[in-house]
Amino acid sequence: MPIPSARCLLGALPLMAALLLGGLSAEAREMKGWSIHADDYPVNLGMQRFADAVARVTKGRDTARVHPSGQLAPQNAVLDKLRTGEIDFAEIGIVGYGDHVPALKVLGLPYIFHDSTQMFSLLDGALGELLATELEKVDVILLGWYDGGTRNFYHRDRKLAKIADFRGEKLRVGQTQTHIEMVRSLGAQPVTLAFKDVYAGLERGEIDGAENNLPSYESMGHYKLAPHYTFTQHLVTPEMLLFSKKSWQQLSPQEQAQLREAGRESARFMREEWNRRVKDIQARLSKQGVQFHAAGDHGPLMRRMKPLYESFWSAKDPVSRQVVALILANLSASAAR
């Protein structure tokens, strides 16, 4: 067998180095992205921006495809498939992942954020870095914080702006214990109903109102029976663009840095799309007779949540305590300004 010349061996060194460093795959591949939403949803539009960046950053070596509507896996299996590399990237909410990263549960507390602007000012800074470190411990890389929307209360015949407005009202919530306790703390009566049964519950008078974000309020037709929508913003939650650590390690440091920026850019784009869609929905619903109301003072409502906050303040997990401290310090600083 002929022995390769020195020139051939030297010429092959850059390729060999790139392979050893993970900067090149042995062959081109298509990265798989998971989303629970349809193609035209703001989440998927943001993910597509990121998918386009994959081809650009890897100079065409790799491509990426966003698979909509939960096609690749059930929602409760996504984190495991990210960890094994069966799914390369995904956009998921924080609910359900607190068992893996307990500090994420803090972000789901009611009235913990005033609005999405305040929330993202923290998540795009020290708070986000802290949670990214915790997420990497379970083998996923955080690339961006997407907007999960703000949830607000709506009612059949009145606004729900202050504590007195909630007293005795029958309000639908899901099975989440924190949400049940939130409604009870406001002086209302929590009624647990499946989301698909809310319309019938309003129709039959089993509930006086419910809570959700504007897109869900419109798409399920709840505005037809509960035309009073109050911007309580009791739940302001993020969602996460995550990348499999196993897939991440196949990229060069330069590609990783560029894809981190692509993830942040896709998150900014998604937030803009979400805000635009919410404004369009509000304008459309106003024309159909929905009355939109501003909430009252945030402080008294937030103080009713003290027992829920205290359980995290005294949590065994030190990171959860640190997250609560960062958020409350930010709230105090905002109030002082």
Write the DSSP string, 254-318: HHHHHHHHHHHHHHHHHHHHHHHHHHHHHHHHHHTTPEEEE---HHHHHHTTHHHHHHHHT-S-H
Band (316; pLDDT cuts 50, 70, 90): confident
- Whether the pLDDT of residue 217 is over 80: the answer is yes
- Whether the pLDDT of residue 11 is over 90: the answer is no
Are residues 170 and 296 in contact, defined by beta-carbon separation less than 8 angstroms? Answer: no
Q: How far apart are CA 251 and CA 139, in angstroms?
A: 15
Q: How far apart are CA 133 and CA 236, in angstroms?
A: 22
Per-residue pLDDT tens over the stretch 172-205:
998 888 899 999 999 999 999 999 999 999 999 9
Q: Give the pTM.
A: 0.86
Q: How far apart are CA 303 and CA 186, in angstroms?
A: 10
Which residue matches tokens 């505005």?
223
Which residue matches tokens 């799914």?
87
Q: Above pLDDT 90, what percent of the chain?
A: 79
Report pLDDT for 5: 52
Per-residue pLDDT tens over the stretch 224-252:
999 999 999 999 999 999 999 999 999 99
Average pLDDT (145-153) is 96
Per-residue pLDDT tens over the stretch 263-284:
999 999 999 999 999 999 999 9
Paired residues of 140 in beta bridges: 244
Q: Which two tokens stand for residue 117?
A: 């602007």
The β-bridge relationship of strands 89-93 and 62-67 is unpaired
Q: How far is CA 192 from the centre of its chain?
A: 23
- E strand residue ranges, the chain: 29-34, 62-67, 89-93, 140-155, 170-173, 189-192, 209-212, 228-244, 291-294
Report pLDDT for 6: 46
Among 62, 58, 37, 45, residue whose Cα is nearest residue 265:
45
Report pLDDT for 27: 67
Report pLDDT for 199: 97
Are residues 138 and 246 in contact, defined by beta-carbon separation less than 8 angstroms? Answer: no
- Whether the pLDDT of residue 24 is over 60: the answer is no
